[in-house]
Amino acid sequence: MNTKFIFVTGGVVSSLGKGIISASVGKLLQARGYRVTIQKFDPYINIDPGTLNPYEHGECYVTADGMETDLDLGHYERFTGIHTTRGNSVTTGRIYKAVIDKERRGDYLGKTIQVVPHITDEIKHRMRRLDDTQQYDFIITEVGGTIGDIESAPFMEAIRQLRWELGRDAINLHLTYVPYLRAAGELKTKPTQHSVKEMQSMGIQPDILVLRTELHLEDGILQKVASFCNVDRDCVVQSEDLPSIYEVPVNMQRQGLDAAILRKMGMPVGETPALGPWRHFLTLQQELTKVVRVGLVGKYDLQDAYKSIRESLSIAGIYNRVKVKLEFVNSEEITEENVAEKLAGMDGVLVCPGFGQRGIEGKIVAAHYTRTHGIPTFGICLGMQMMVIEFARNVLGLSDANSREMNAETNHPVIDIMESQKNLAQMGGTMRLGAYACQLVQGSRVLQAYAGQAAGDAESPTVISERHRHRYEFNNDYRTQYEQNGMDCVGINPESDLVEIVEVKQHPWYIGTQFHPEYTTTVLNPHPLFLDFVKTISQ
Ligand code: GLN
């Protein structure tokens, strides 16, 4: 069979959840036995989202092969369990850079370089590139932004051309919004009609429409949208607000979205898959009664800034039969005087990743408080580094211990930059990124946690692989001192000998990871450390 392409676009307003719809479509097709991948094209000029402040686009997600990407790739992986790669995330900046580099090399032989055809050709090339591996039956391409944005226009032109070239092997799924006007007591389809008209003016006729709505849409409305927009009635579905994003695939399946896609592409529809484990997960989620509270100590008070951590905790909670209530605690406001009050009633604390000075002293104070009060604590990346600094200052007696990132002159850089990283002036693309191996130490809590997840044969994994995104490292010069005083280095990179995990044994749960375990949690495969952390706090 030829590879099939599904282009997902959005209209009317942003934040409708194109990523969730793309991930849901991926999930449903995968459940039918198809090999699926999902890629994201973002119309901004940044080369990648790595240098973006989380307030701009939420967290930066990292793929196993070390690409810093949009957070939607996290949804794709959590929903489908697929591993995305560098090829799954493309920005306008990267497209232009590729074209300009080619121009400088003289590859265009003196031609005038234009948006059409050179930029659009580069977009088309990258939209099809994952197909080179012949690994996929379906390639779902989500295009960021909203129809009508100036930035999106070259992407729309590329989609128009590809649809023309690929015929039935390519379709467009357009996600729009049906607002409810309270004063009139009516649901309005006009914005959707306009959005579809706008697409038609660009030469693209949507095949499938998904209508985002806060209230249930009666059949008459769907019928009206279908006939006004030249779309088959069975190709118009609604995506109502649901209590959990993980209910979206089931809701889409109930309305036959995957069947409509297959019909449109001339493929056999067959039986509807049962989605057993997925439904089991939803049932568990709906049955939760017990609540545990986790303090998220970080500096960004924004849902999306720690997206994968939030999802990892709540998924781990569901498997532990508890609802994890996440409470953001601004690390910039934590002081020794108020820490007890700020963390009062927390069953556990997660010290968040991050970059730069702001809020780090608050993280250190929090780590001190939770270590000395037996409160289960999970430190991730910068969070782990702050646990290490706190331990140096308060247990090892190195009162000016710090990370070289925060104080280049410190006498005790317990977190330091590696030799090979020194002298790098550029910010983008200079980090340790992507998956690295980590050897777990016998007798450690983390080994037990990972082993607890090992499948039936009980062969516990002593070497794991986890994703990184940082410049600074635990300084091995201090390793013996830490171990002699109760903070053990229990995860070690077998090639570089870098410390990847620390834990304090004399504590109910005090573990810091230099890597980001949150990137590899999926709905059907929750991460062992999150499971173990939540298990501890829910007992
Ligand atoms: N700023 C720290 C470093 O670069 C930690 C990064 C992070 O938390 N992702 O090492």
Q: What pLDDT is recorded for position 460?
A: 61
470 lines ligand 1 (CB under 6 A): yes
When pLDDT is cut at 50, 70 and 90, the band that residue 134 belongs to is confident
Q: Does residue 452 sit in helix, strand or coil?
A: helix
Burial zone of 275 (CB within 10 Å; 0-12 exposed, 13-18 middle, 19+ buried): middle
Contact 441, 489 (CB under 8 A): yes
353 lines ligand 1 (CB under 6 A): yes
Provide the residue type at 20 as one letter: I
CA 212 – CA 215 distance, rounded (Å): 9
When pLDDT is cut at 50, 70 and 90, the band that residue 229 belongs to is very high
Residue from 297, 309, 382 to probe ligand 1 pocket by mutation (most atoms less than 8 Å from CB)? 382
368 is catalytic: no
pLDDT, average across residues 454-480: 83
273 pLDDT more than 70: yes
455 pLDDT more than 50: no
144 pLDDT more than 70: yes
pLDDT in tens, 504-519: 999 999 999 999 999 9
CA 90 – CA 387 distance, rounded (Å): 35
Contact 135, 49 (CB under 8 A): no
When pLDDT is cut at 50, 70 and 90, the band that residue 421 belongs to is low
Q: What sign does the dihedral 330-331-335-340 (CA atoms) show?
A: positive
Contact 427, 51 (CB under 8 A): yes
- From the list 157, 412, 518, 527, the catalytic residue is 518
462 pLDDT more than 80: yes
77 pLDDT more than 70: yes
Residue 355 has, within 13 A of its CA and on its CB side, a CA count of 13
The more confidently predicted of residues 245 and 419 is: 245
How many other C-beta atoms can be found within 10 angstroms of the C-beta atom of residue 449?
Answer: 22
- From the list 57, 468, 507, 516, the catalytic residue is 516
pLDDT, average across residues 301-317: 92
| pLDDT > 90 fraction of the chain, expressed in percent and rounded | 88
When pLDDT is cut at 50, 70 and 90, the band that residue 425 belongs to is low
317 lines ligand 1 (CB under 6 A): no
105 pLDDT more than 70: yes
When pLDDT is cut at 50, 70 and 90, the band that residue 257 belongs to is very high
Among protein residues, the one with the nearest Cα to ligand 1's atom 6 is 470
472 lines ligand 1 (CB under 6 A): yes
Contact 40, 72 (CB under 8 A): yes
Q: Identify the CA nearest to 154 among candidates 128, 112, 122.
A: 122
Phi, psi of 22 (to 5 degrees): -60, -45
- For residue 263, the 8-state DSSP code is H
CA 43 – CA 70 distance, rounded (Å): 12
Among protein residues, the one with the nearest Cα to ligand 1's atom 1 is 355
405 lines ligand 1 (CB under 6 A): yes
Among protein residues, the one with the nearest Cα to ligand 1's atom 3 is 470
40 lines ligand 1 (CB under 6 A): no
How many other C-beta atoms can be found within 10 angstroms of the C-beta atom of residue 112?
Answer: 7
Q: Identify the CA nearest to 352 among candidates 374, 371, 370, 367.
A: 367
Task: List beta partners, residue 504.
Answer: 487
CA of 366 to the centre of ligand 1 (A): 18
CA of 353 to the centre of ligand 1 (A): 6
CA 310 from chain centre, in angstroms, equals 10
Least confident of 114-128, 236-250, 353-367, 457-471: 457-471
- From the list 60, 229, 235, 381, the catalytic residue is 381
DSSP string, 59-84: PPEE-TT--EE-THHHHHHHHH----
471 lines ligand 1 (CB under 6 A): yes
Q: What pLDDT is recorded for position 456?
A: 45
CA of 341 to the centre of ligand 1 (A): 28
pLDDT in tens, 237-255: 999 999 999 999 999 999 9
pLDDT in tens, 11-32: 888 889 999 999 999 999 999 9
CA angle 137, 138, 140 (to 5 degrees): 165
CA of 473 to the centre of ligand 1 (A): 9
CA of 531 to the centre of ligand 1 (A): 23
Q: What pLDDT is recorded for position 422?
A: 60
518 is catalytic: yes
Q: What is the mean pLDDT of the chain?
A: 93
The more confidently predicted of residues 463 and 52 is: 463
354 lines ligand 1 (CB under 6 A): yes
